[in-house]
Amino acid sequence: MRSRLLKILICLIMIISYIPITAISVESGESVVDGSTAGAPIAVPEEGLAISGGTLYGIDKTWFANVNPDKGKVYLAISIPSGVTEINNDGLKDSYTSDKKLHNAVTYMDGLGSFSVAALSFDDATGLETIGEQALQGNSQLTGILDLSATNVSVIKKSAFSGCSNLTGVVLPKTLKELGSRSSSAGSVFNGCEGLRYIRVAGSSNQNAVFELPEGLTYIGRQTFKNCFASDVDAKVIIPASVETIGSEAFYSKRISQIIIQKEGDGWDPRLTGYDTSAFKTGNDDLLVVFLNRKSYVDYTVGRSFTGAVKRALSYPVTLTFQNAKEGVIKQDKLNYQSIQYEYDEAAGFWAVNQDYLLPQPAGEQVSKPGYNTFWTVDDKKLTDSGKINITSDNPTVEIDYVIQNPTIQPVADGTVQADFHTLSIDLDAAGPHTVGVQVSHPLLKEQQGTEDTYVYFQYCWWDESGEESGVNGPRSRAEPELFSSSAENGILNRVKTGNAVIPIDGQEHARTDGHYYMVEIYGYLVENGGTPELFYKSHHNFIDFGSDSDTEATVSRSYTLQVEVTQVERHAVLFQTGEHGTLEGTSNFAVKDGSTMRKSGYPVPSVAADSGYSFTGWLGTDGITRTSNEVLDLTVTGDMTFTAQYAKDSGSGGSTGTTRYPIEASAGHGGGISPDGRVRVSRGSDKTFRITPDAGYEIADVLVDGESVGAVSRYTFETVRKNHTIEAEFRAVEKAPDTGVDRWLNTTDHMAYLNGYGTGLFGPDDHMTRAQAAQMFYNLLLDQEVSAAVRFTDVPADAWYARAVET
């Protein structure tokens, strides 16, 4: 309907097309058809076309001069007549060719102005068989549908519609044989048509088809569909068996996600004849290319090298037969080298991923074995619910197999399982002995379901990765060689295997934080039917390798490191003194936890026996405040305290009843404190001690007594006080070590090998480092390597030794 309306519009425009542009005028509010805009193109009559012998060479020069006397740029509407059998090269453009000059077709070099085709109809072009090279190349004014269904076109030559970025649809004729110029191996017919929402075949039964090719097509030139389709289009295409040749990058587009090839190979040719090695080079990392069968796949791939993206895309159908399934024999069609989640959609004719796919349940008689996982295998390879299939036979049988389970490993501190392997905390004030380590469980341990003949057991190699001199030889490696492994100067690892899943923590010296930690290698051994123990599990060490992995025994990539924080509540001295007129009964010196009280700690205040003629009046603290015994019991202790018994002379005893006291003003600047602080009253002739304490990150800069410096002292005592005094503490920030900016993520403190030696066993200090080696080195420096591989690179094979390092 749309093309018919276009044809009617072009015919109407033709009526006035013989009138010069300057002579056309309309009343205000009416459309102006003067060719000045793409929305109002001049219709070109058949007489305005340069046609000779059935070939359209362009726009007739005489007609063009008549309708464009101003010699500007005009927009044209063209309907291809039925008598035209071929559109010559550049036939719908104003570019220069020698053929145009010979056949009186206008070009921009004639000085008559220029033109661009804004509307094009093929509804009457029933005789058209060939569309020449660059026929409409680079035309961004042409919009809507390019409908060739009425034509008999068999050849569309290279770049015919390349760069027609505003076309939204293409309808190809059933007669089409070639897309591109076979003589030059060129294509690019629709290269850059980035506005397309579909390419269909005339008379298609699927009105919603996105990408179709006609059954008789034989040739697809280089880059024919490169950068095709709009950004939100998901294009999938079936290449008919008739296609003999596909040029390089023919389908290079991010919008093309699936290509199904119907041409069948015989399994003997070195390649599928005519299909270029780069035919399926892709701009879509998720491209899927499905060959008809294994023989066709082999014909195309044998002897060829592909990019990583293309190699991952290639596949062919296989049928898996599950013999011992719960529901009987089950056959499933899958794609080799692709995820098992792919299923064929009969209605759509393409393959789709089923995210909810689950492998069939084994039959009831397939009894599970304690300590083993039951799984399906094909060609001795384990199948999972989402993993890739990789088989060598065409239609294999899937069988039940068993594999021993890996152990469950959890961190423990003082016998209690912890939530994760982050820093473990040990409180030395709690009941001991204190330990950290791992709890390793497995169904086949003897204390679980193992037997005397069939069981598992575990051994442990502990490493103290602490200290500045050697990253793996910490203090405990030297002090406790019977428990901790070590590394010799020549790099040989002296592993000490023990049955100790935990190690003792006896004091602050056993703490490991801030990049220092303990590492444990866990070895799991299986004994079957009383036989020789065989290693079935080995956790990975965390040593940094150069090149290949040196931990050849490891069965998993996970390593286990423990940071240990050792805490012990600070205690403060609380001292009770007799004073001048009495004696104390009971303990007078206590160690009280920081933040606690005498009462909570269960400590009593000593009793006071006053001398004759005197009465006890309270306890004078170091802060200058006198308190009752009950008040002292409930006082929160945050530092060392001294309490001195105070007395009053009984009435009638004669003598002076007054005591002279002198104030000492104590103050501290930013960054620390002084104790006691504020105004402290001191009895005449007494001594008074002040303690100066910096905050974290600060140090004492100076202490001023009565305005004079006494240096950066941490305590000062006024002796035999007989006048008022002042004391002032000053602090300054401790200079920090430069921040490297990466020490939170990378190991910047240890000194150990980061890459293995070269294959010859020699060190190569002058050799160039490859990109892969550099990526592996930085990966090995990571403090936490357990991260998702979210980045993918098309040039990095999935099975490369450096793949995980590059993709992390």
| Percent of the chain at pLDDT exceeding 70 | 85
Give the least confident one: 213-222, 252-261, 659-668, 776-785.
Answer: 776-785
Give the single-character DSSP code of 60. B
CB neighbour list of residue 59: distance below 8 Å, 6 or more residues apart: 44, 48, 49, 50, 76, 94, 105, 106, 115
Does residue 391 contact residue 379 with C-beta atoms inside 8 Å?
yes
Q: Which of 402, 399, 332, 326 is nearest to 362 (CA)?
A: 326
Burial of 53 (0-12, 13-18, 19+ CB in 10 A): exposed
Instruction: Give 262-289 pLDDT, tens digit per residue.
Output: 999 887 765 588 999 999 998 898 999 9
Phi, psi of 540 (to 5 degrees): -85, 145
More confident: 106 or 746:
106
What confidence tier does 375 reach under pLDDT thresholds 50, 70, 90? confident
CA angle 623, 625, 631 (to 5 degrees): 110
CATH top-level class of 2-228 = alpha beta
Tell me what the mean pLDDT of segment 587-608 comes to.
91
Mean pLDDT calculated for residue range 372-397: 88
- Predicted confidence at residue 51, as pLDDT, reads 98
- Kindly state the average pLDDT of the residues 92-113: 96
Give the residue, 594 or 178, on which the prediction is more confident: 178
Q: What is the pLDDT of residues 168-211, one digit of tens each?
A: 999 999 999 999 998 887 889 999 999 999 999 999 999 899 99
pLDDT tens-place string over residues 399-412: 888 889 999 999 99
Domain ranges of the chain: 2-228, 317-404, 659-736, 771-807
Pairing of the two strands 435-441 and 502-504: antiparallel
pTM of the model: 0.56
The pLDDT tens digits of the residues spanning 34-77 come to 899 999 999 999 999 999 999 999 999 999 999 999 999 999 99
**pLDDT reading at 657 higher than 80:** no
Nearby residues of 226 by Cβ (< 8 Å), 6 or more positions away: 188, 191, 192, 249, 250, 251, 252, 253
> Mean pLDDT for the chain?
87
Provide the β-strand partners of residue 120. 78
pLDDT over threshold 50, residue 19: no
| DSSP annotation string for 510-557 | G-B-TT-EEEEEEEEEEE-TT---EEEEEPPP----SSS-S-TT-SSS
What's the rounded mean pLDDT across residues 508-519? 92
List, as own/partner pairs, every contact residues 466-469 make where C-beta atoms lie below 8 angstroms and the sequence separation is at least 24, other chains included: 466/512, 466/516, 466/517, 467/516, 468/749, 469/751
CA–CA separation, 31 and 652 (whole Å): 126
Residue 779: per-residue pLDDT: 73
Render pLDDT for 465-483 as a digit per residue (tens, 0 to 9).
986 655 789 999 999 999 9
Extract the tokens encoding 758: 């070269």
Task: Flag whether pLDDT at 760 surpasses 50.
Answer: no
pLDDT at residue 138, rounded to an integer: 96
Q: Does an H or E element contain 117, and which?
A: strand 114-121
Top CATH class, 659-736: mainly beta
CA distance to 200, 284, 363, per residue, from 225 (Å):
13, 13, 49
pLDDT at position 271 is 59
Q: What residues contact 102, with CB distance under 8 A and at least 6 apart?
A: none
- Flag whether pLDDT at 233 surpasses 50: yes
pLDDT of residue 1: 43
2-228 and 659-736 have identical folds: no
What are the angstrom distances between the C-alpha of 375 and each of 142, 329, 367, 372, 525?
Answer: 59, 16, 12, 10, 22
pLDDT of residue 492: 87
DSSP label at 461?
E
Q: 676 preceded by cis ω (within 30°)? A: yes
Per-residue confidence (pLDDT) for residue 22, from 0 to 100: 30
Q: How far apart are CA 384 and CA 315, in angstroms?
A: 18
> For the residues 446-464, what does the mean pLDDT come to?
96
| pLDDT value, residue 355 | 96
- The most confident of the ranges 501-505, 646-650, 769-773 is 501-505
Decide the pairing of beta strands 424-427 and 564-567. Answer: parallel
